[in-house]
Amino acid sequence: MSTIRLGDIAPNFTAETTEGKIDFHNWLGDSWGVLFSHPADYTPVCTTELGAVANYKAEFDKRNVKVIALSVDGITSHKGWIKDINETQKTTVNFPIIADEDRKVATLYDMIHPNADDKMTVRSIFLIGPDKKVKLMITYPASTGRNFDELLRVIDSLQLTAYHKVATPANWKAGDDCVIVPAVKNEDIPSLFPKGYTEIKPYLRMTPQPNLK
């Protein structure tokens, strides 16, 4: 089993989901994608997480991001559990959940960590770009629920920095000033960043977020 690294092409697969069989790359199309695993159905933390993702669906849609979940339980289990999620989290699950009973996808994406649990998947997140390359990987322990506000923040940063010569500083959120990347020469800044910039150090130059009016 090879390790997936940032910049790698996300491995393709076919799988049964609660919304029918998919070919992962075809399903993604030209969208960004979030593939996230949960240890098992009918577990308390996962119930809150999938409810949170359902409630954030409009935010993911706004960013052209498709979300898909995975666990090693089957379709019947998933569909029964969705009823509980909808009831307890006051939502409607509106994205597919992969039934990975043979652990094919979990193995492909190294989601089972034997020193943590040799059967259940850890809480992994893979953010995949329209080019099918892996842009972000985060792994949480089973006991810790994920922060989906942070995931949206990272998506905002990645979608900004993919098209502008900036990086985002610590604790950045959409609307905050950005760092001009070191490769940009001072003489090129006026044409690239007409809003102006502040030089704190020669290597630390800040500019208003360039894609905001």
- Domains located in the chain, CATH noted: 14-145 (3.40.30.10), 164-207 (3.30.1020.10)
> Could you tell me whether strands 198-201 and 134-140 are parallel, antiparallel, or unpaired per DSSP bridges?
unpaired
Is residue 115's pLDDT more than 90? no
Is residue 122's pLDDT more than 80? no
Is residue 130's pLDDT more than 50? yes
The type of residue at 94 is N
Is residue 2's pLDDT more than 60? no
pLDDT of residue 120: 57
pLDDT of residue 119: 52
Name the residue among 166, 114, 164, 111 with its Cα closest to residue 139.
Answer: 111
- Please state, in angstroms and rounded to a whole number, the distance separating the CA atoms of residues 41 and 37: 11
- Which residues, including other chains, have CB under 8 Å from residue 169's CB and lie 6 or more apart? 176, 177, 178, 179, 206
pLDDT of residue 113: 54
Give the global pTM.
0.90
What percentage of residues in the chain have a pLDDT greater than 70?
94
Is residue 121's pLDDT more than 80? no
Is residue 117's pLDDT more than 60? no
Is residue 187's pLDDT more than 80? yes
- Please state, in angstroms and rounded to a whole number, the distance separating the CA atoms of residues 202 and 100: 51
Check 46, 54, 98, 120 and give the catalytic one. 46
Name the residue among 11, 59, 45, 38 with its Cα closest to residue 139.
Answer: 38
Is residue 1's pLDDT more than 50? no
Is residue 118's pLDDT more than 80? no
**Alpha helical stretches, state H, the chain:** 24-28, 44-55, 57-62, 75-89, 104-108, 148-161, 189-192
Q: Region 112-141: what's the mean pLDDT?
A: 79
Instruction: Assign 28 to helix, strand or coil.
Output: helix
Is residue 134's pLDDT more than 90? yes
- Please state, in angstroms and rounded to a whole number, the distance separating the CA atoms of residues 25 and 10: 9
Q: Region 128-142: what's the mean pLDDT?
A: 93
pLDDT of residue 169: 98
Is residue 35's pLDDT more than 90? yes
- Please state, in angstroms and rounded to a whole number, the distance separating the CA atoms of residues 202 and 18: 53
Residue 46 designated active-site = yes
Choose between 39 and 85: higher pLDDT.
85
Integer-rounded Cα Rg, in Å, for the chain is: 19
Which residue, chain included where needed, has tokens 């130059």?
Answer: 205
